[in-house]
Amino acid sequence: MPDNNEELRKAGKLLYPIFREYVAVEAIYHRGEDLIFKTVPKVPLEDFQDKLSKQAFEAGFYLAFFQDGDSLLIVAKDIRPQGTKIPWLNILLFVLTLASMIIAYGYIKYESEIFRDFGLMAEGIKFALALMPILLFHEFGHYLAARRNKADVSLPYFIPAPTLIGTLGAIIKSRSPFKTRRELFDVGAAGPLAGFVPAVIILAIGFSNAQIINIGDQPLGTGHLLMGQSLVYYFLKILIVPPIPEGYTLIMSPTIFAGWVGLFVTMINLMPVGQLDGGHITYALFGRKLQFYLAWIIVAGLVVMGFFWPGWFVWGFLAVVIIKLKHPPTMNDEVELDQKRVILGWVSIALFILTFIPIPLKFVIVQ
C-alpha cells in the first residue's frame, strides 16, 4: 500500500462499510503500510471472523485479529495488485534451478566431461524435465491452498544449489499467520499430496522403459550409486518391471531417478517437525503437545538411523537447529478439524510411512 495519508484514508473508507456490520469501529490508525482498526465486536469473533476475512480479501485486504482487553484490533494489509508486475525473481530462480538440475545430474553420470561435451547434458535435461513437474505440483499445491484460504503468500522461489539433484527445493513467503488449524492443515497437506501423484506417474513411466544390465559386464572398480527403496517404490517396481535375474541390475535412468527423488522429497516434507508439511499436519491433527513429542521421536529415530546412513545426522541437525521442532500456534487453535480433514491427515501419515527410505543412498564398487 502506498504510504501517503490520502491512500490510507481511501483504504479506510473502503473497509469501514464492510467492518461495521460486525464491529463498532472506535478508531483507525496506520502503522507503516498497514491500517489498524480499534473495534468492539457486536457478536463473538468466531461468529464473523471467516466471513469478514473473506469479504476483506475480495476487496483486496488481508486481515489479522488481536484481542486487546475489551477491544478487538484488526490489522488490514493491502494486497491489491499495484499494476501488472512480472515476478522476474521467481522466473530467474526457476530458470537457474533448471540449469542447476541439468548440470547436477550430468555431473553425477559423466563428471567433468559434461563441460567438454555439451551433448552429454541430454540426460540431465531428461532428469530436470521429469523432476520439475513434481516440484511444481508440490509447491503450487501449497500456493493454491493458501490462496483458497485467503492467505497472503508469494509465488514459489526455487533454490538452485550444488547438491546431488541441483536444488534445495523452493520456498513460499507467507506474509500472514495461519488463522485456524483447518487452514494450517489445508496448506500443509496440499503440497505433499499434490506432489505425490506426479512422482508416482513419473516413476511408473521410468519403470515401463527400464533397462537391465549384467553386473559382470561392468569393468572392475566401476562405482554405482544405489537408491534405497520405499514401499511405494518397491511395489511399483515389482508391478511394472519383469523379474530381474541374479547377477543383473536395473539401470537408474533419469526418469526413474526423478521419480525416486519425488518420493524422497515427499517423505522428508512429511516428517512431523516444526514448519515442515508434516509439522503442519500433525499440529492441526493432534495439537501442539503431541506434535512436539512426535518431533522428538522422529529426531531420536534419525540419530539412530544415522549410524546406518550418515545423512540422517544432517537431517537431525537441521530439524533441531534450523527447522525447529516446535510448531508456532495459529491465531485460533480452538477450531477443530472436520472428519474429511482427519481422514486426509491419516492418509498423509500413511504416505510418510509408505515413502520412507531407511537407507536412501549407498555407493558400491564392482569387484
In tens digits, the chain (367 residues) has pLDDT values of 444 566 667 777 888 888 988 999 888 887 777 888 899 999 988 889 889 988 888 888 888 888 888 889 998 888 776 656 788 999 999 999 999 999 999 988 888 788 888 888 899 999 999 999 999 999 999 999 998 887 778 899 999 999 999 999 999 988 777 888 999 999 999 999 999 999 999 999 999 998 887 766 666 555 567 889 999 999 999 999 988 888 777 888 999 999 999 999 999 999 999 989 999 999 999 999 999 999 999 999 999 999 999 999 999 999 999 888 988 888 778 888 999 999 999 999 999 999 999 999 886 655 5
Greatest extent of the chain over all pairs of C-alpha atoms, in Å: 82
Q: Which string of b and e fits 38-55 if b means at least 16 CB within 10 Å?
A: bbebeeebeebbbebbeb
Contact 237, 259 (CB under 8 A): no
Give a yes or no: residue 24 inside a domain.
Answer: yes
Last residue of a domain, one of 48, 78, 108: 78
Q: What is the pLDDT of residue 1?
A: 42
Q: Residue written as cell 490510507?
A: 8
Any alpha helices (H) in the chain, and if so which ranges?
Answer: 5-19, 49-59, 88-110, 121-148, 181-208, 231-240, 254-269, 277-286, 288-305, 311-317, 339-355
Is 295 within 8 Å of 326 (Cβ atoms)? yes
- Report the C-alpha gap between 64 and 35 in whole angstroms: 11
Place of cell 502503522: 31
Do 25 and 46 fall within a single domain?
yes
160 and 307 part of one domain: yes
282/354 Cα distance (integer angstroms): 17
Task: State whether 161 and 45 are in the same domain.
Answer: no
Whether residue 328 is found in the same domain as residue 194: yes
Residues 107 and 254 in one domain: yes
Position 29 scores a pLDDT of 83
Is there a domain that residue 286 lies in?
yes
Evaluate whether 174 touches 152 at the Cβ level (below 8 Å).
Answer: yes
Cross-strand pairs, 302: none
Residues 14, 99 within the same domain: no
List CB contacts of 186: < 8 A, sequence separation 6 or more.
Answer: 145, 148, 149, 341
Q: Are residues 73 and 186 in the same domain?
A: no
189, 235: one domain: yes
Give 112: exposed, middle or buried? Use CB within 10 Å, 0-12, 13-18, 19+. Answer: exposed
pLDDT value at position 216? 63
Which pLDDT score is estimated for 2?
44
Clarify whether residues 41 and 155 are in a common domain: no
Domain boundary among 78, 104, 128: 78
Could you tell me the residue range of the domain that residue 160 belongs to? 88-365
220 located within any domain: yes
C-alpha cell at 70: 475489551
Sign of the torsion formed by the C-alpha atoms of 207, 268, 275 and 97: negative
Residue 83 belongs to some domain of the structure: no
Cell of residue 146, nine digits? 493458501
* CATH code, domain with 16: 3.30.980.40
Q: Is 45 helix (H, G, I), strand (E, B) or coil?
A: helix
pTM: 0.82
Number of domains in the chain: 2
- Say yes or no: 268 and 333 in one domain: yes
For residue 279, give the 3-state DSSP assignment.
helix
What's residue 222's pLDDT?
A: 56
Where among 78, 100, 118 does a domain terminate?
A: 78
Query: Cα angle vertex 197, ends 243, 130, to 5°?
Result: 75
Same domain, 137 and 218: yes
Between the alpha carbon of residue 266 and those of residues 77, 168, 272, the distances in Å are 33, 13, 12
Contact 203, 256 (CB under 8 A): yes
Please report the pLDDT score of residue 245 as a whole number.
Answer: 84
Looking at residue 13, its pLDDT comes to: 82
For residues 67 and 93, state if they share a domain: no
Decide: helix, strand or coil at residue 26.
strand
